[in-house]
Amino acid sequence: MNLRVEKLRQLMITEDLPAILVTSPYNLRYLTNFTGTTGLALITLERAFFVTDFRYMEQAAKQAVDYEIIQNKGPIFKEVARLIDEMGIEDVAFEEEHVSFATYSTLVDLFSCDLTPIAGLIESLREVKEDREVAIIKKAISISDAAFTHILKVIKPGMTEIEIANQLDFYMRSLGASGVSFETIVASGYRSAMPHGVASEKVLAKGDMVTLDFGCYYQGYVSDMTRTFALGDPGEQLKEIYEIVLAANQKVIAEAKAGVTGEYLDFVARKVIGDAGYGEAFGHGLGHGIGLEIHEGPAVSKAYTKEYLPGNIITDEPGIYLAGLGGVRIEDDLLITATGNEVLTQSPKELIIL
């Protein structure tokens, strides 16, 4: 029995949804374990179908073990339409955030039933990680930690940001990562004031603050970390800012647990930075959930008012950014527990001056 499908069915009963068409590749992986690139699932309250073409039949049989595997020999949605007619389904929910208007138009033409848009239903199940998921994410994070240790040994003035990014990316792959979880950010000197300053041709110079924000995919799950350090003395103001950001990061760790909200944690971090006089320089939310995607629920922002649950994994990434001078961000991945949290990111956080 696929426990994830059973949990989804309970939500389907609550929402009065007789069937769901799953097309999001992340939700497909979560519900079916399928890692190929072509396929979809049709789940009813009694049956679960996985539809794919000839190329993936053997793979689907091994991975989607609790599904009836159907081979489409023509357009895949025609095969779904046949199943809908065969079972007399009168309404099918579809993932509105993952279906283009062109695809929706195709569904309207082919399906003999009503179509109901849904959003966030399957994603809500993904927010609470199972023990196996936590173990995989911990491994992904350990790879990122090792890459940070590696880069501290090789980075030096005269290298470009792109060279550093490539070093990080290749090293993570050498440790078993299947790829990066997002485009690696390397922002040095004045560019460290850019929160999402992906690596450029800028040459690192003595005295630069360097922000590295990076992560990897391991067995389908992501890691995400940020560390800021200096190549030589960066000056008193940037050292002061570093300590403020670190204090905000640590305050969140002290407060994060099941029952608190993203709104509260965002306030906690923002108060530390605001009380130090840099509130306007912290212009983004505190964090986000991670899992199969680099940004998924639950959020960590003033807009997120739901209480966290044990098994949520969130990021804690306060920052201060001063145009023309530089910036600091420190990011950890936290596993929420009933009584607190486990800091999964193990890289040191005291200011490192190389």
Give the count of beta carbons closer than 10 Å to the beta carbon of residue 207.
16
Could you please state the CATH topology (level 3) that the domain comprising 131-343 is classified under: Creatine Amidinohydrolase (3.90.230)
Q: What are phi and psi of 353, to 5 degrees?
A: -115, 110
Residue 298, pLDDT above cutoff 90: yes
Mean pLDDT computed over 136-142: 98
Q: What is the pLDDT of residues 313-346, one digit of tens each?
A: 999 999 999 999 999 999 999 999 999 999 999 9
Q: What are phi and psi of 249, to 5 degrees?
A: -60, -45
How far from 225 is each of 47, 108, 145, 255, CA to CA, in Å?
A: 40, 43, 8, 20
Q: What is the pLDDT of residues 2-27, one digit of tens each?
A: 899 999 999 999 999 999 999 999 99
Q: Which tokens belong to 228?
A: 């800021």
The residues, any chain, with a CB within 8 Å of residue 185's CB and separated by 6 or more, are: 196, 197, 198, 199, 211, 212, 213, 214, 226
Mean pLDDT computed over 249-264: 98
Indicate if the alpha-carbon torsion angle 194, 198, 200, 204 is positive or negative.
Answer: positive
Q: Which parts of 45-100 are beta strand (E)?
A: 48-52, 68-71, 91-95
> Coil, strand or helix: which one is 211?
strand
Helices (H) and strands (E) in the chain, counts: 10, 19
Residue 109, pLDDT above cutoff 90: yes
Phi-psi region of 342 (alpha: psi -120 to 50; beta: other; left: phi over 0): beta
> Coil, strand or helix: which one is 188?
strand
Pairs from 274-277 (Cβ < 8 Å, separation ≥ 24): 276/244
**Which candidate, 229, 199, 210, 226, places its Cα nearest to that of 288?**
226
Q: What are phi and psi of 212, to 5 degrees?
A: -115, 120
Residue 299 · residue 288 · CB < 8 Å: yes
**Which candidate, 98, 90, 88, places its Cα nearest to that of 41?**
98
Could you please state the CATH topology (level 3) that the domain comprising 3-126 is classified under: Creatine Amidinohydrolase; Chain A, domain 1 (3.40.350)
Q: Which tokens belong to 163?
A: 């060279």
pLDDT band at 100 (very low <50, low <70, confident <90, very high): very high
Q: What is the pLDDT of residues 76-93, one digit of tens each?
A: 999 999 999 999 999 999
Residue 333 · residue 345 · CB < 8 Å: yes
| pLDDT (0 to 100) of residue 196 | 87
CA 50 to centroid of chain Cα atoms: 25
Pairs from 171-175 (Cβ < 8 Å, separation ≥ 24): 171/146, 171/147, 172/143, 172/144, 172/147, 172/214, 172/216, 173/216, 175/143, 175/146, 175/147
pLDDT band at 65 (very low <50, low <70, confident <90, very high): very high
Give the count of beta carbons closer than 10 Å to the beta carbon of residue 280.
11
Residue 1, pLDDT above cutoff 80: no
> Would you kindly state where each structural domain of the chain is located, as residue ranges?
3-126, 131-343
| Strand ordering across the sheet containing 91-95 | 68-71, 48-52, 40-44, 19-22, 91-95, 114-118
Beta bridge partners, 50, equal: 41, 69
| pLDDT (0 to 100) of residue 23 | 97
Say what the pTM is: 0.95
Q: What is the pLDDT of residues 151-190, one digit of tens each?
A: 999 999 999 999 999 999 999 999 999 999 999 999 999 9
Q: Which tokens belong to 177?
A: 């990562």
